[in-house]
Amino acid sequence: MNSIYVHIPFCESKCYYCGFASFAGKDNEQKKYFAYLKEEINKCKFGQSISSIFIGGGTPSLVDVQYIEDVLFLIKKHFKIEKNAEITIEANPNSIDENKLLAYKKIGINRLSIGVQSLDNRQLKKIGRLHNKQQVLKALKLAKKVGFKNINCDLLLGLEKSSFFKIKKMIKLVKKYVSHFSCYMLQVEDGTLLQTMVENKQITLPNDDKVVEIYSKVIKFLSKLGFKQYEISNFAKDGYFCKHNLNYWSRGNYLGFGLGAHSFVNETRWANGNSFGDYYSGKKSLEEKLTKNQIVEEIIMLGLRCDLGIKEKELKKLNFNLEDNKNFKVFVDKKILHYQNGIIKIDPKYYGVSNLIIEDLIN
Amino acid sequence: MNRQDKIRNFCIVAHIDHGKSTLADRLIEATGTLAKRDMQNQLLDSMELEREKGITIKLTPTRMIYNFEGTDYELNLIDTPGHVDFTYEVSRSLAACEGAILIVDASQGVEAQTLANAYLAIDNNLEILPVINKIDLPSARPMEVKKEIEDVVGIPAMHAPCISAKDGTNIDQVLEMIIKEFPAPKGDENGKLKCLIFDSYYDNFKGAICLIRVFDGKVKVGDKIKMMQTEKIFDVVEVGIFVPNPKTTEILQAGDVGYIACSIKTIQDVSVGDTITSAFDPIDKPLPGYKKVQPVVFCGIFPVDGSKYQELKDALEKLKLNDASLQYEPEVSQALGFGFRCGFLGLLHLEIISERIEREFNLDIITTAPGVYYLVHKTNGEILKLSNPSSLPSAVEIDYIEEPYVKANIFAPPEYVGAIMELCQDKRGVYQGLTYLEEKRVRVDYHLPLGEIIYDFFDSLKSRTKGYASFDYEMAGFERSDLVRVDILLNGEKCDALSIIVHKDKAYSRGRALTEKLKRIIPRQLFEVPIQAAIGNKIIARETISAMRKDVLAKCYGGDITRKRKLLEKQKEGKKRMRKIGSVEIPSEAFMSILKLDDGEG
């Protein structure tokens, strides 16, 4: 499978925990940025058909719909897009309205990913989000009204005063609108405002054990509601698994356009520059041809992240045999790993410590 | 003037940090031995490690030429190691000299090691030249310090040069005094060959190099020489001097300091402190003072990567050549596999050797908790000498155990006597006496078990006396003690490398402290891990490491898989320093952690 990712690095304000390539107060850069973005797409040669497009950010819903339309139009003209391709746009509850949603629908966007994070207004304020509970519910209602069926809701676990009770209440409120949840555990990234706040004790985050406890309960609760966990952080109703994400984990090709965007084609990974200057000048922030070992590592690491599991024959093609690893047997015996019909999966109970397991399998 | 009248062999002794290496640098510079641009600060401390720790471990002699009143004098500086662990090495260097410069810091005054080193020099019949250093400091009090030297050390000091080695002030005065004060060697050039090996090192091309002082006779290339202790005979392949890099010469004669190389491949054949003589015409009696050095502290050293055993063996062999005091023998541990039980002169020595193995030989190693030698008297009358806790026989077979004691002298201002006594009592010490050295300085003497002072004693002493106390010790034989072995069980499995021998009264608190410490050091694992301390079958302490529940779940945003993989690789790097005992991953530093238990805990 092949995918396209488009990065829109503009935001109204920077969330305190955000460590991604996004910028607030750079709106006057938009015109120039989209010109370069289109040029980048135009220059790209890729003949295979595309199954998913993801317009992410930053806040894609912040910029004028016309920009999005132009880019999408160009992509459709320039590449072979499959008829039933999944086309997602990321949106913030406070930057969408009915007209925007109608426009998205019209230009062929069929999936919305909404950055809800929390419905606790104090929690939202504490991490620098600009929206509130009311806006979230309004946005979801509108999306449904306009006719979006495939809607994802991003939730953050491990915010200040996080509790399962709070999250359960939130899920109950939004579940009738959405088909997909992404539940991420809050990470304190280097160089973020959140990191400074934690250091200065301006915010007290729950410890790992507490977060994992909430996470485990969330998994059970979502499963009861019919949302299947198909990856560490992702849950969806049948038929609504995110194709785009699955392509990342199954190591399909993807082309990334825009500032900081990552691409992966034929076992080579590269990424655009992380500043406007670097991006415009064509400077890459990453370029690597994967070695055999790295490929093995990735197959294991990504396969165990999700319900797809590892296909044993893919490793065997690389002359890597998991059964030679003594830890593998222990993990299978202890039912940490499930090994059936040439597919190796991690027991969902151990998603939280997958790194420990992956490491033991690679060594 | 005959040849030897123009030679002076001397060393520099001082308390740590009083500026020994800096003065050596200035002397080399002032005599033009090295151009200034070739100088590296503290040149004589040639090992990276020495420069970092600010201490001298290896001896590096240097020949300098200084013109005094129209005559060129040859000054041989023999450096000495500056730590209590290396007393024997110091004594060998001293034996190669006629004079010693005693550096005293102009503000610190006479310190414990100033005294200890001065007495060592006096015992070796050296002429002592006191030098007051660091007079550039505002707190310098040279006159008082001179008086202190006269009062405490008991040597005349009013004529002592007042210098700043750092700024190069009055260095010429020191050079002149060396020539005027120190006696010239008075060897018999035509007598039978008599040389002292005061150090050795291994050269990959030339084999073992002996650093020697010639007392009588001469030695040149082609001579057959004999080592008197090992009775081995060798052909001299090269002779030379240090300026300060090695430089070949034709001959070394009575009074000279230099080196000889004999293509010695078997490193055990060179024994530092040994006497070299002619194979054809040997002297009757070797030089006095040779001692087979006895290590006092022992620990196991294992490669982190079990397949590197041979490399570790080679590394120890090479290190032993430079270091007569290092001892090792093969050891097998259930937990750590094949390694070596090594003996050291003290904890610093242990630390230096393990760091050198890691740096110079690029080997990752695990060191187990240091311990001492015990004499185990079995009920069947047999006496075992052992240092490895896991070789201790079961309690029913033991009649009694003896442990080594030391005579410790602690120097401090009188207001700290209370704190010192409290610490020593706590360490099972027996009070021996208190001496006022002067108004502001006392010496407290204690009879202490060596096993107690190798654990954090020095650090506790420093912290309880705000750094004012210093101490030295000498071995004082073995005494009967009530000792038990405390074992550590991880996940129910005994980990032999973590066993310790302790006094019965301290077993509970040590066991508790140890399990608590291990709980902090061992990372959480996939499963819950109980940590238990036990004496025999009796559990005396227990902690539990709860199971790991979350690790780095980096979000693969926008397809940044590389970042996730890098995180994984970083985690993998960290794991390289872990050892798997049963199903439990233990960081290699855990094995040394026993040493770093806080005073209050133990």
What is the structure's pLDDT at A200? 93
Computed on alpha carbons and rounded to an integer, the radius of gyration of chain A in Å comes to: 21
DSSP A189-214: -TTSHHHHHHHTTSS-PPPHHHHHHH
Residue B201 has pLDDT above 90, yes or no: no
pLDDT of residue B594: 66
Cross-chain residue pair A187–B572, CB shorter than 8 Å: no
Distance (Å, whole) CA A219 – CA A206: 18
- The per-residue pLDDT for A9 is 96
DSSP character for A62? G
Determine what percent of chain B is predicted with pLDDT higher than 70: 90
Q: Is the pLDDT of residue B80 over 90?
A: no
Give the CA dihedral B582, B585, B589, B593, nearest 10 degrees.
Answer: -70
pLDDT in tens, A125-145: 999 999 999 999 999 999 999
Backbone angles phi, psi at B290, to 5 degrees: -70, 135
Residues of chain B with C-beta less than 8 angstroms from the C-beta of A156: none
DSSP alpha helices (H): ranges in B238-280?
A: none
Asked whether the beta carbons of A197 and A188 are under 8 A apart, the reply is no
Contacts of A208 in chain B (CB under 8 A): 549-550
- Bond preceding residue B523 cis, omega within 30 of 0: no
Report pLDDT for B140. 93
Q: Which amino acid is at B393?
A: P
CB contact under 8 A, A352 and B559: no
Full DSSP string of B416-434: GHHHHHHHHHHTT-EEEEE
Buried (b) or exposed (e) across B431-465, using 16+ Cβ within 10 A? eeeeeeeeeebbbbbbbbbbbbbbbbbbebbeebb
**Which of the two residues, B339 and A357, has the higher pLDDT score?**
B339
Nearest to A298 among B560, B561, B583 (CB): B561
A358 touches chain B (CB under 8 A): yes
Helix ranges (DSSP H) in A206-335 = 208-224, 243-249, 276-281, 292-305, 312-317, 326-333
Joined together, the tokens standing for residue A80 give 């072979």
B347-360 mean pLDDT: 87
Which pLDDT belongs to residue A164?
Answer: 94
Is residue A258 within 8 A of residue A272, CB to CB? The reply is yes
pLDDT for residue B574:
73
Q: Which helix (H) or strand (E) holds B349?
A: helix B347-360
Rounded-to-5 percentages of helix, strand, coil across chain B: 30, 35, 35
Q: Tell me the H-state helices in B465-599.
A: 504-521, 561-575, 590-593
Indicate the SS3 state at residue A158.
coil
* Rg, chain B, Cα only: 27
Inspect the interface and report whether the beta carbons of B556 and A248 lie closer than 8 Å: yes
Question: Which amino acid type is present at position B191?
Answer: G
Peptide bond into A256 cis (omega under 30): no
CB contact under 8 A, B550 and A261: no
Closest residue in B to A300 (Cα) is B565
| Exposed / middle / buried, residue B284 (Cβ in 10 Å: 0-12, 13-18, 19+) | exposed
Please tell me which residue, B76 or B294, carries the higher pLDDT value: B76
The chain B residue lying nearest A302, using CA atoms, is B561
Identify the pLDDT of residue A357: 86
The CA–CA distances, whole Å, from B225 to A181, A348, B262, B266, B283 equal: 86, 76, 9, 16, 11
Residues facing A2 on adjacent strands: A253
pLDDT at B357: 92
Note whether A187 contacts B556, CB cutoff 8 Å. no
Nearest Cα neighbor of A297 from B43, B283, B566 is B566
Distance CA B267, CA B395 (A): 41
What is the average pLDDT value for chain B, to the nearest integer?
A: 86
Residue B170 has, within 13 A of its CA and on its CB side, a CA count of 14
**Contacting residues for B80 by C-beta, under 8 A, at least 6 apart:** B11, B12, B13, B20, B56, B59, B89, B90, B93, B94, B117
Query: Alpha carbon A48 to chain centroid distance?
Result: 23
Residue B412: its H or E element = strand B398-412
pLDDT of residue A106: 95
Q: What is the pLDDT of residue B571?
A: 76
- Identify residue A247 by its one-letter amino acid code: N
C-alpha pair distances (Å), A344 with each of A168, A332, A334, B552? 32, 9, 14, 21
- Nearest Cα residue to A7 out of B562, A23, A16: A23
N- to C-terminal Cα distance for chain A? Answer: 30
pLDDT in tens, A304-359: 888 889 999 999 999 998 888 888 998 999 899 999 999 999 888 888 788 888 88
Give me the mean pLDDT over the B67-96 stretch.
Answer: 82
Coil vs helix vs strand at B521: helix
Q: Which of A7, A57, A16, A11 minimizes the C-alpha distance to A34?
A: A7
Quick check: B553 and A5 CB within 8 A?
no
pLDDT at B18: 84
- Banded pLDDT at B369 (limits 50, 70, 90): confident
Question: Residue B294's pLDDT is what?
Answer: 73
Helix boundaries (H) for B138-213: 142-148, 171-181
d(CA A345, CA B595): 43
CA gap A8, B45 in Å, rounded:
59
Nearest to B427 by CA among B411, B403, B443: B403
Nearest-CA distance B309 → chain A (Å): 20
Start-to-end C-alpha separation, chain B:
65
What does the block give as tokens for B471?
A: 């101490």
> Distance between CA A37 and CA A41 in Å, rounded?
6
Inter-chain contact A269–B562, Cβ cutoff 8 Å? Answer: yes
Residues of B in contact with A357 (CB under 8 A): 526
> What is the reported pLDDT for B43?
47
CB contact under 8 A, B555 and A271: no
Which of B551, B555, B558 shows the shortest C-beta gap to A356? B551
A269 part of contact set with chain B, CB < 8 Å: yes
Torsion of CA A24, A27, A31, A36, to 10 degrees: -10
The pLDDT value recorded for residue B123 is: 77
Cα–Cα distance between B283 and B193 in angstroms, integer?
A: 7
Shortest CA distance to A92 belongs to which of A130, A120, A35? A130
Mutate to test the interface with B, among A355, A357, A363 (most CBs of B within 10 A): A355
Q: Do B549 and A297 touch (CB under 8 A)?
A: no
Tell me if B280 sits within 8 A of B221, measured CB to CB: no
Is the pLDDT assigned to residue B110 strictly greater than 80? yes
**pLDDT surpasses 90 at B374:** yes
* Nearest Cα to Cα of residue A79 among A253, A242, A269: A253
Q: What is the pLDDT of residue B246?
A: 87
When mean pLDDT is compared across A217-221, B76-80, B400-404, B476-480, the lowest value belongs to: B76-80
Position B130 confidence tier, pLDDT thresholds 50, 70, 90: very high
Chain A residues 280-339 within an 8 A CB cutoff of chain B: 286, 288, 294, 297-298, 301-302, 305, 330, 336
The two structure tokens encoding residue A37: 């973005």
Task: Tell which wins on pLDDT, A340 or B527.
Answer: A340
In the prediction, which pLDDT does B29 show?
87
pLDDT higher than 90, residue B315: yes
Q: Of B118, B166, B123, B274, which is closest to residue B210 (Cα–Cα)?
A: B274
Name the band, by pLDDT with cuts 50, 70 and 90, for residue B552: low
Instruction: Return d(Cα B542, Cα B515) in angstroms, integer.
Output: 6
Least confident of A233-237, B99-103, B471-475: B471-475
pLDDT of B426 > 70? The answer is yes
How much is the pLDDT for B600? 42
| Segments in chain A below pLDDT 50 | none
Q: What are B262's strand-pairing partners?
A: none
When CB atoms are compared, the residue of A5, A184, A356 closest to B559 is: A5
Concatenated DSSP letters of B279-345: SSS--SSPPTT-------EEEEEEESSGGGHHHHHHHHHHHHHH-TT-EEEEEEETTTEEEEEEEES
Say yes or no to pLDDT of B601 above 70: no
Look at the block and give the residue holding tokens 């040389």: B195
Which residue on chain B is closest to A55 by alpha carbon?
B558
A254/B562 touch (CB, cutoff 8 Å), yes or no: no
How large is the average pLDDT for residues B310-339?
A: 87
Q: Is the pLDDT of residue B86 over 80?
A: no
Q: In chain B, which residue's Cα lies nearest the Cα of A360? A: B572
Classify each residue of B300-334 as buried b or exposed e, where b means 16 or more C-beta atoms within 10 Å of its C-beta. Answer: bbbbbeeebbeebbebbebbbbbbbbbbbeebebe
Residue B568 and residue A358: Cβ atoms within 8 Å? yes
Give yes or no for residue B312 having a pLDDT over 90.
Answer: yes
Nearest of A109, A225, A120 to residue A178 by alpha carbon: A225
Give me the residue from A5, A215, A269 closest to B561, CB to CB.
A269
- A219 to chain B, any CB pair closer than 8 A? The answer is no
pLDDT tens sequence across B246-283: 899 999 999 999 999 999 887 677 888 899 999 999 99
- Which pLDDT score is estimated for A218? 94
Question: Which pair of structure tokens corresponds to residue B71?
Answer: 């005559």
Contact (CB<8Å) A297/B568: yes
Cα distances from B246 to residues A7, B241, B324, in angstroms, run 65, 6, 22
Task: Give the closest-approach CA distance of B551 to chain A in angstroms.
Answer: 5
Residues B286, B228: contact at Cβ < 8 Å? yes
Burial pattern B124-139, b for ≥16 Cβ within 10 A else e, equals bebbbbbbbbbbeeee
pLDDT at B237: 95
More confident residue, B111 or A37: A37
Contacts of A263 in chain B (CB under 8 A): 559
- Element of type H or E holding A49: strand A49-57
**What is the ipTM, given to two decimal places?**
0.84
Q: What digits encode the pLDDT tens for the residues B218-245?
A: 999 999 999 998 889 999 999 999 988 8
Please compute the mean of the pLDDT values over residues B413-436 and round it to a whole number: 93
Say whether pLDDT at B24 is over 60.
yes
